[in-house]
Amino acid sequence: MARTTKLELSQTLAALGAEVQALRVKCAEQAATIEVLKAAKPNAQAERKVFVRREYQPSAEQLALREAMAAAKALAMASGRSVRVGA
């Protein structure tokens, strides 16, 4: 089993402490960069265009089919039988 001296442990601790300090500085720099980028980023919702729903206009063919189905329904209700609607 290898023995580690008190001096070696102190040197390792000092090196790790310096490394931790360097990482803290780097982390602070990154946090500052993030804050700058957040401040520079425009509000995404302000640029977003509002969706406007257009009124649906069925075609003449669709309107004719609706009329045929309504007439078939009325005929079925009046006669009490099933009615087939052809396109």
Tokens 């509000």 label which residue? 43
Q: Are 71 and 64 in contact (CB under 8 A)?
A: no
Task: Give the tokens for residue 81.
Answer: 């039988």
Q: Is the pLDDT of residue 12 over 90?
A: yes
Return the amino acid letter for 42: P
What predicted TM-score, i.e. pTM, was given to this entire model? 0.43
Residue 33 has what pLDDT? Answer: 92
- 10 Å Cβ neighbour count for 50? 4
- In degrees and rounded to multiples of 5, residue 29 shows phi and psi of -65, -45
Q: Which of 45-49, 58-62, 71-75, 81-85 has the highest mean pLDDT?
A: 58-62
Residue 49 has what pLDDT? Answer: 78
pLDDT in tens, 19-65: 999 999 999 999 999 888 888 876 655 667 788 888 989 999 999 99
Cα separation, 45 vs 49, whole angstroms: 8
